[in-house]
C-alpha cells in the first residue's frame, strides 16, 4: 500500500507489527495469547450489545471498533505463530467464500423469494458443509450463556425427536398458561430467577446442569439401538 492511500483499516493493521515487536513493542501485547484474550473479546461483545440495545450510536461506533481490534489481534497472533498459518486476509477469504456458498439465491441460480425459503437454502448449504459431523451436538458452543445454549440445544433436540418440556405448565413449572407476549415471557423468566434466588440457587448453573442432562438425552437418541 502506498502512504497516500492508507485507509483507517490499513493504519490499524500497521499498528500490530509495532506493538508485537520484541524490541520496541508493547510488553502487555506481546504476552497475550488467543486464550488470554478471550475475556476481553467477550466483554467487548457484551458492551457492543448494550450499545445496540440502548440505541447509543456513538457507543456502537466505539464498541464496533473494540470488537474489530480484538478480531485483528487474534488474526495477527495467528499470523505470527508457527503452525497456525493464517492471517486477517485468510479470515476474510474464508468468511467471503462461506457467504457465497450460503447465498446461492444471490450468487447462483437458486430461487428464494421469501424469508422462509432463504432460511431453508441457508440451512441446506450449511448442512452440506457439515456432512462430516456425526452428531447434531457438534458445532454447539458450550461457552454460550445458559439461555442461549438452551435455545441451541432445544433446536438440536427437536432434530432427534426429543421434547424435554411438553406442556405449558411443565415449561413454566406452574399451572399458568404459556406467555403470549415478549413482556410476559420476560416476567416469567424473571420470576423463575427470583424463585432460584430465594432458594439460594444459581439459576444460570441450575439451567446448565439441566442442559448437560439434555445433551446426554440427545446423544442417547442418536446412538444406534442394539
Inform me whether the pLDDT recorded for 3 exceeds 60.
no
Q: What string of DSSP letters covers 85-123?
A: ---HHHHHHHHHHHHHHH-HHHHSS----SHHHHHHHHH
Averaged confidence pLDDT in the chain: 88
Dist. CA 40–CA 70, nearest whole Å: 8
Residue 58: which of 67, 68, 48 has the closest Cα? 48
**CA distances to 90, 110, 116, 205 from 113, in Å:** 32, 10, 9, 43
Inform me whether the pLDDT recorded for 226 exceeds 50.
no
pTM value?
A: 0.73
Tell me the pLDDT band of 121, cut-offs 50, 70 and 90: very high
Specify whether the CB–CB gap between 22 and 14 falls below 8 A.
no
Give the single-character DSSP code of 177: P
Instruction: Retrieve residue 139's grid coordinates.
Output: 458445532
Residue 174: which of 187, 155, 163 has the closest Cα? 187
Burial-class residue 45 by CB neighbours within 10 Å (0-12, 13-18, 19+). middle
Write the pLDDT tens digit of every residue in 29-64.
Answer: 999 999 999 999 999 999 999 999 999 999 999 999
pLDDT score at 143: 85
Q: 79: how many CB neighbours lie within 10 A of its CB?
A: 18
pLDDT score at 182: 86
Residue 136: which of 117, 118, 158 has the closest Cα? 158
Write the pLDDT tens digit of every residue in 59-101.
Answer: 999 999 999 999 999 999 999 887 778 999 999 999 999 999 9
Specify whether the CB–CB gap between 166 and 173 falls below 8 A.
no
Amino acid at each position: 500500500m502506498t502512504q497516500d492511500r492508507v485507509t483507517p483499516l490499513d493504519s490499524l493493521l500497521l499498528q500490530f507489527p509495532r506493538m508485537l515487536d520484541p524490541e520496541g513493542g508493547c510488553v502487555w501485547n506481546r504476552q497475550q495469547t488467543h486464550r488470554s484474550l478471550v475475556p476481553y473479546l467477550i466483554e467487548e461483545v457484551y458492551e457492543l450489545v448494550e450499545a445496540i440495545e440502548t440505541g447509543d450510536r456513538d457507543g456502537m461506533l466505539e464498541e464496533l471498533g473494540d470488537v474489530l481490534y480484538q478480531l485483528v489481534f487474534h488474526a495477527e497472533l495467528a499470523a505470527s505463530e508457527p503452525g497456525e498459518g493464517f492471517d486477517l486476509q485468510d479470515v476474510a477469504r474464508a468468511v467471503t467464500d462461506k457467504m457465497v456458498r450460503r447465498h446461492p439465491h444471490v450468487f447462483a441460480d437458486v430461487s428464494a423469494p421469501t424469508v422462509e425459503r432463504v432460511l431453508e437454502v441457508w440451512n441446506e448449504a450449511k448442512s452440506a458443509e457439515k456432512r462430516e459431523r456425526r452428531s447434531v451436538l457438534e458445532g454447539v458452543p458450550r461457552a454460550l450463556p445458559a439461555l442461549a445454549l438452551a435455545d441451541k440445544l432445544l433446536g438440536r433436540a427437536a432434530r432427534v425427536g426429543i421434547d424435554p418440556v411438553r406442556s405449558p405448565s411443565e415449561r413454566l413449572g406452574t399451572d399458568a398458561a404459556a406467555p403470549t407476549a415478549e413482556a410476559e415471557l420476560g416476567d416469567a423468566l424473571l420470576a423463575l430467577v427470583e424463585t432460584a434466588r430465594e432458594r439460594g440457587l444459581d439459576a444460570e448453573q441450575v439451567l446448565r446442569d439441566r442442559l448437560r442432562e439434555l445433551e446426554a438425552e440427545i446423544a442417547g437418541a442418536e446412538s444406534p439401538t442394539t
